[in-house]
């Protein structure tokens, strides 16, 4: 499991942010969260479908119709039956 720290540079609290985890051109998982402050940490559970690399895409549309989107990629360094080994460096998304 990897923790992703999502930071907003704009004051967009209470905005709903769906996100997708994409690997090898396929959507592996989707979910969403609501921002209640400038930072939000959420966890992404690793799966074999994410080998060798996955991307977290976070997006939203403001009331004025402006599209906000950001992404970060990470490597999955191996997935064995007895556990997961992977590393995410600087997993920080910002608008």
**Domains in the chain, number:** 1
Q: Which of 8, 10, 3 is nearest to 56 (CA)?
A: 3
Which of residues 13 and 39 earns the better pLDDT score? 39
Say whether pTM exceeds 0.85: no
The CATH number covering residue 86 comes to 2.60.40.1930
Residue 83 has pLDDT above 80, yes or no: no
Tracing tokens 């989707």 back to the chain, one arrives at 30
Any domain includes 35? yes
- pLDDT bin (cut points 50, 70, 90) of residue 47 is confident
Q: What whole-number distance in Å separates Cα of residue 74 and Cα of residue 88?
A: 6
Any domain includes 65? yes
Any domain includes 95? no
Residue 64 has pLDDT above 60, yes or no: yes
- pLDDT tens-digit series, residues 27-45: 999 999 887 777 788 888 8
Q: What whole-number distance in Å separates Cα of residue 65 and Cα of residue 3?
A: 29
């Amino acid at each position: 499991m990897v923790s992703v720290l999502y930071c907003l540079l704009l004051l967009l609290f209470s905005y709903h942010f769906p996100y997708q985890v994409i690997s090898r051109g396929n959507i592996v998982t989707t979910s969403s969260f609501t921002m209640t402050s400038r930072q939000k940490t959420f966890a992404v559970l690793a799966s074999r479908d994410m080998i060798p690399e996955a991307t977290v895409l976070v997006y939203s549309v403001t009331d004025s119709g402006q599209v906000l989107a950001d992404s970060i990629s990470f490597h999955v360094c191996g997935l064995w039956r007895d556990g997961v080994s992977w590393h995410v460096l600087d997993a920080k998304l910002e608008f």
